[in-house]
Amino acid sequence: MMNPASIRRFILTLMTGYLAIFGVRQLPYEFDNEWFVLIPVLLVVYVLTTWIDGQIFGDNETQLSMPKKKILSKNKSEKKGFGDA
């Protein structure tokens, strides 16, 4: 089951994506292939929606966690390459 933050982000992306498609179709230009315009617009909409959602609601899910470095104990010898024995 999806958590509430994922559902909220999904609904926001659907709404802003619909508005972006509507906006592109209202442009007074005739595109040979509309998908070449819509796909980059929808990617930008998704990235902006995810970023704005993280800024407004401050979820920890949108932040990448950095792995912690392992601390070597003093008893173990450090090996530096193939030639070390």
Sequential pLDDT tens for the chain (85 residues): 778 888 898 999 999 999 999 999 998 988 899 899 999 999 999 999 989 888 888 855 544 455 656 555 555 566 667 776 5
Give the residue among 41, 11, 1 at the shortest CA–CA distance from 25.
Answer: 41
The whole-model pTM stands at 0.59
For the record, the structure tokens of 1 come out as 């089951």
Give the residue among 25, 17, 5 at the shortest CA–CA distance from 45.
Answer: 17
- What is the Cα–Cα distance from 70 to 10, expressed in whole angstroms? 36
